[in-house]
Amino acid sequence: MTFSGYVVEDHFDEVFGENGHPRTTARTLVQNIEQLPPGELVNRQKAAERALLQMGITFNVYGAEAGTEKIFPFDLVPRIVSATEWHRIEKGLKQRIHALNLFIDDIYHGQKIIKDGVVPRDILHSATSYREQCIGWNPPRGIWCHITGTDLVRHRDGQIYVLEDNLRCPSGVSYVLENRQVMKSLFPKVFSSAKIRPVSNYPLKLRDMLEYLAPEHIPTPRVVLLTPGIYNSAYFEHSFLAQQMGIELVEGRDLLVEDGYVVMRTTKGFERVDVIYRRIDDDFLDPECFRPDSQLGVPGLMEAYKAGNVALANAPGTGIADDKVIYAYVPRIVKYYLSEEIILPNVPTYICAEEKELNYVLEHMNELVVKAANESGGYGMLVGPHSTKEQCDEFAERVKANPRNYIAQPTLALSRVPTIVDGHFEGRHVDLRPYILCGEEIFVLPGGLTRVALKKGSLVVNSSQGGGSKDTWVLADTCLSDHEAVEVDCAPAGAEN
C-alpha cells in the first residue's frame, strides 16, 4: 500500500509537508509502510483489531442488542511529534498545570485573583464544578490537580492550541499504553530504527505520585483505585491501571469509614487505605457531603479526607479549573500567578457572559463552535458551519436564556493524519491529549492519545461520536543523555513478520 494517491489538500498534514513530501520526522515510517507487500498493512490492521477484541479492550454499545461490544477503533498510521515540538508542548503544559494548581488553591482560600479583578466573582460562583465544601481545605502536599489530560489541537496555521483542560477524571491513558503494545508487536522493525520515546513507565510514575500523597508517617502506604464499577464505560481503563500499578481496584461498597479512617473489606477483616485514586466525580464521592442519593461513594469519606487520614486524587473541587468559562481566563491566570506569558495559547474564546462578546456570538453562530460550559464528550455543542439555520436559531435561544453557561470559538481546521479507509489512505482530522502528573514534580508523559475523527470531514473526535485512536510517537532528541531510555523494542528477536 502506498501514499501515491494521497492528497494533503489545504489542511495541515502531520505526516506530509505542503510540497507533498513526507516530513523529516515521518520519512522512516513512510518508507517502511511503502515497502510492505500489497495487502500487508490491511492485514496488520485486522490483526490489531482482533487483538484488541480478544484482549477485551471494548466498550459497551448502549442501546444496542445485549452483549454487543465494540473496540475503540484503532488506526495503524501513527501521529509523530518531533523532539523540538514536544519540548515546547511539555514546557507549556508544565506551566499551565503549575498555574492552574495555584489558581485552585487560591479559589478555596483567599481568592486574591478575584479580589484583584482578574477573574469575575459571579463567573466563579455560577460554575457547577465549584465546591463550597472545599473552602479552606489544604490537600496533601498542596496539590489539587494530580492527573490531567489536556486536549491540544493544531490549526491550519501550524500552531498548537489548548482546546480544553480535563482536570477531573481524564480518561484514555490506557489506550495510549495498549495502542503502543499493539504497534510494537506489529511493527518491530520501525521501532528498532526510529527513536520513539517510551510510554510504558506511566503506571509506575502514577503509583509513585500517588504514594507521595500518603500521610507522612505511613512507611508503605496502601493505594487503591476507586471505580464506579463494570458498567462504567471507562471500566476497562480502571482495571487496567490498577493491574499495571499493582494496586487494588475497589468499588464504593468495598470501603467504609471507621473511626475517621477509610478501611476496605478483605477476607482477613478490615484493612486501612491511605490513598485513593478516584475515578468517580465529586458529586458521587460521599453521600454525606455531596449528593445524598449516591450509591457509588463512601459515606464519611470527606470527613476522613479532611482529617488528613486519607488522600484523594484528584482533590475534590479541582473541577473548577476545567470549567469551560474559566478556561477562557487561563492566559490571564498564568500571567497573574507566574508573571509569564502563556507558552501554549488558548483557542480564541468568546465568553457569552460578557455582553459585547455575546452579541458577536449571536450574530456569527454559523461560523462558530458554541459549547455548554459543563458538558463533555461532544455533547451540548453546536458546530455552526455544519448546522442548519434552524439548529443555529434554536441554539441561540438556549444561549440567550443562560449566557453564563456558554462560550464560543472559531471553527478550527484541525490538522490531519493519513488514515486507512477502505484499503487506501485518506486524511482525517486529529487532536492530541497528553497526560500530566503533578506530584513531587510535574511529569508529562511523552506521548498521548491521538483521537481521530473517522468520518470524512468530521471534526468530532469523541469515541461516543464515531472517533477512533492512533498511537502517538514522540521522537527522542538525538542528543539526550544516556539515562533517557529510547524505546528500542521489547519484542523478542525473530518476532518480525
- Residue among 41, 183, 209, 249 that touches another protein (CB under 8 A): 249
Coil, strand or helix at 394? helix
Q: How many angstroms separate the CA atoms of 455 and 414, rounded?
A: 14
Q: What are phi and psi of 409, to 5 degrees?
A: -135, 150
**Cell reading at 147:** 492527573
Residues 172-211 as x/- pattern, contact with another protein by CB under 8 A = ----------------------------------------
CB 25 within 8 A of CB 475: yes
Nearer of residues 229 and 308 to another protein, judged by Cβ: 229
In the complex, what is the shortest distance from the CB of residue 53 to another protein, in angstroms, rounded to a whole number? 7
Instruction: Please give the DSSP secondary-structure letter assigned to residue 475.
Output: B
Side-chain half-sphere CA neighbours of 295 within 13 A:
1
In the complex, what is the shortest distance from the CB of residue 338 to another protein, in angstroms, rounded to a whole number? 39
HEC secondary structure over 311-342: EEECCCCHHHHHCHHHHHCHHHHHHHHHCCCC
Sole window of 13-21, 126-134, 233-241, 448-456 interacting with another protein (rule: CB under 8 A): 233-241
In the complex, what is the shortest distance from the CB of residue 287 to another protein, in angstroms, rounded to a whole number? 8
- Residue among 269, 457, 492, 494 that touches another protein (CB under 8 A): 269
Nearer of residues 153 and 249 to another protein, judged by Cβ: 249
**Cell reading at 187:** 511493527
Residue among 466, 449, 464, 443 at smallest CA distance from 173 = 449
Question: Count of residues binding another protein (CB under 8 A)?
Answer: 31
- Residue among 267, 388, 478, 481 that touches another protein (CB under 8 A): 267
- Residue among 85, 208, 251, 477 that touches another protein (CB under 8 A): 251
The answer to whether 253 contacts another protein (rule: CB under 8 A) is: yes
The answer to whether 357 contacts another protein (rule: CB under 8 A) is: no
CB 189 within 8 A of CB 40: no
The answer to whether 230 contacts another protein (rule: CB under 8 A) is: yes
In the complex, what is the shortest distance from the CB of residue 158 to another protein, in angstroms, rounded to a whole number? 41
Distance (Å) of CA 324 to CA 35, 143, 169, 171, 320: 46, 21, 15, 18, 9
Site for another protein in 22-61 (CB under 8 A): 53-56
Q: Which residues of this protein are in contact with another protein, per CB under 8 A?
A: 53-56, 67, 229-230, 235, 239-240, 242-243, 247-251, 253-254, 256-258, 264-267, 269-270, 288, 299-300
